[in-house]
A and B are shown apart, each in its own frame.
Chain A
């Protein structure tokens, strides 16, 4: 079946502008994750959604970052008033479940959105 998809593939924006990044998880996956991959910081966890539960926002670096997951499927990561240090690849992943045995909690990643803030 189809994997995790993300859009846009690349986004160039000016400092101070808002951006929205979209993630379509694998159909039927209840858990969705956002990570950021930057040169200086490596791969960092940002936020996690599980079903209808309140999201785990513990990885968000500032209040300029927010995310929604509508209808338990598509997710949007919004960065307000972008800064140059926000430049990175933003990766989305989904898993069938969030925890448990077997391989149901294995996270499958999308191709990422490369964000460049000028």
Chain B
């Protein structure tokens, strides 16, 4: 079985500053995919960033980047220049290459303060 753990239930950051959300996971597979999703109060789950485990280079999407440490099974999300619109729940998720569904962490509630 695969598991995903987010150890920070809540975090806050000042607008324009940088924040890092933690995620660790466990899987017996060597090839898998990792995701960060954002869920604002509207409930819509929005893909933030995706990382293939076979790629050593960390994924980046504008202000969002990841620190993927495969050996440590760690996949943290860094948000630079935080904006008020970044306030949301953030979920880390894992999908095995052979599997179909996403396994989610418990989420981190991020509050960006003006």
Q: Is the interface of A mostly helix, strand, loop or mixed?
A: strand
Take A42-B106, A106-B47 as given contacts and tell me if A111 and B100 are in contact as well, using a CB distance cutoff of 8 Å: no
Chain A residues within 8 Å of B97, by CB = 99
Q: Does A79 contact B (CB under 8 A)?
A: no
Set A42, A56, A91, A114: member contacting B100, Cβ < 8 A: A56
CB-CB nearest in chain A for B54: A101
- Give the residues from 77 to 114 in chain B that come closer than 8 angstroms, CB to CB, to chain A: 91, 95, 97-98, 100-107
Chain B residues within 8 Å of A42, by CB = 104-107
Take A42-B106, A43-B104, A48-B101 as given contacts and tell me if A105 and B42 are in contact as well, using a CB distance cutoff of 8 Å: no
- Distance (whole angstroms) from the CB of A66 to the closest CB of chain B: 17
The number of chain B residues with a CB under 8 A from chain A is 23
- Distance (whole angstroms) from the CB of A72 to the closest CB of chain B: 16
In the complex, are the beta carbons of B103 and A111 less than 8 A apart?
no
B residues in contact (CB < 8 Å) with A: 33, 35, 37, 42-47, 50, 52, 91, 95, 97-98, 100-107
A residues in contact (CB < 8 Å) with B: 31, 33, 35, 42-43, 45, 48, 50, 56, 59, 89, 91, 93, 98-99, 101, 103, 105-112, 114
